[in-house]
Structure 1
Amino acid sequence: MSAPRSTVSALARYVTDDPQEVREWLSRVYGSRLLMGSISDGPARLAVSTADAGSFQTTDLSIPGSFSCRNQNIDTVRAGVVVSGRVTIDDGDAVSHYGPGDALMATFPRDSLVSRAEDLRIRTVTLPLGLLADVAGTRANGSAEPPRLLSRSALGPAASRMVADTIALTDGLLTGPAAEHPLVVGNAARLLAAAVLAAFPTTLTLQDEIPADRADGTPAVLRLAVGYIDAHFAEPDLSLAGIAAAACATPRAVQYAFRRHHGTTPMGYVRRLRLAAAHADLLAADPAGGATVGAIAARWGFYHPGRFSAYYRSVYGRPPRATLTT
């Protein structure tokens, strides 16, 4: 299939310190399904540069202070690299933390997630799922099971650098004379899609690596991974890449080992341990001394009260507030 024939239709830079304008701009750019949460008091100076090439969009976004939002049923793929600050994403299966240099999958089609950012600057690329399927040589639609994202974290530091370098290269093309050539822009879109496919595990590319992952996804790998997680689950920066390195295996092999022997994902196992720790803290806490469900949940990485309450109830059969006040 030939590369998409598109040119850059818009280059823009936007700056504002009005919180309402921040909300309106982000909702307009990232879609009506992005529901804004809190923005910290004081100046929230949004600074964003965008390049819209039709088949894809790159963004350099800065938001000082604290910021939270909820995404529902997003229909595009958005990957990014944190330049500075921190990001936490709770997608209902795991709570993931990212800092400078980390690549992350911010949204994937049919996502429902809560994001929290602190003094964030992030560079992102937005792509249609169909382009990724085209580059992967598969079909995005028409199958019994739509493509799925298997981890929000890139497959190690080298994969994160690849995403960062590819976005930087593309931005350079879009701000120069090459942006006037449809062939260059179209192939830049395919290059970005290829980088995203190589950096993040999805069912679009998993099939090629299943035999090796099955061979490596042994009980020994699982024991090493579990031991590492048990010792480090309280650390906010714990990642799939770090777990895999400790288990001397690939991230996909560790994922396969957990699915096969534990019926969950590595980060799902982390989430279970953090919930158990939050449960213990709720039992030990004194509400008369100012302890709250929200503070205890946030201590263990659960930043969305409603989602934490539902998850807690599904495991312990009662709301967390009932445990705190017992």
Structure 2
Amino acid sequence: MEGENYSRVSEFILLGLTDQPEQERHMFLVFLIMYLITGLGNLFIIMAIRTDSRLHTPMYFFLTNLSLVDILYTSTTIPKIVVNYIYGNKAILYTSCLAQVFFFYWFAGTDSILLASMAYDRYVAICASLHYAMVMTPRVCVLLVAVCWLWACANALTHTSLLTQLSFCSHNEIPHFFCDLSALLKLACSDTFINDLMVNTVGSLTVLIPFIGILISYVRIFVTVLKIPSIVGKWKAFSTCGSHLAVVSLFYGTIIGVYFSPTSTHTAQQDMAAAVIYTVVTPMLNPFIYSLRNKDMKRALRMLLTRKPGLSL
């Protein structure tokens, strides 16, 4: 077929997780509550770090950026889901869908690389503690965060730009709750070879390389921790690393399973279930995993919440 025979769609229909009205009402409450927990939890983390000078260290600098990204990340998809459930209108404009793809992959990519930066920070702190201050300088930290944002932005811009070159026929129903790139590629009438190639090359640079970097960092950390003579010290280190790796496994495991495995091995329902984990559940858990298990963070949060009105920051 020739390109001129294609009709460009003006909107897509997000079929969502269910088409049952009763289940949709439950989904509305669940997503709204999880969004509020994610937003408030990460906002409290940012404010606590900002107001406690003792937390102005590289570790908490990365955590501040991670909390900010998680707020933006969830805001890309969840508000649209909630609005759809309220009004019963599952349509999303073509331009809005492209914008959602761009911002979703920008923030998701930034989240991915930030997790790797945090793992590197912990590696230096544990395995090269004597040189930590010289390695993790403020300039290096700012540079690492800037790379996270710019690298992820370039990745998102690449996928979105290539998406605008595709043609879509009469089929405009997306079996997902947001404009997911893999779902959109399945709807395209034109050849998606370049798009698929970029997902498996440029996309892998944003997911697989940080993931491998995290694994290498934590293998080195575990080797160092095993040399600690104190059992209490070992348990504390393993407990902290285990929590981090649990979130990393959820985030990367589901993304790799959806985007880097043969499409014949999983269904649309499985893709959506996995997407709920890395788009909603993981950002909601981050404040608890990275902060509430930390004594310094809990102290800063108590100071923030018990601060008397009128006190300056």
TM-score range, shorter chain: under 0.3
Bigger share in strand: 1
The two structures have a TM-score, normalised by structure 1, of: 0.27
Bigger share in helix: 2
The two structures have a TM-score, normalised by structure 2, of: 0.28
Q: Select the structure with the greater relative contact order (CA < 8 A; seq sep ≥ 6).
A: 2
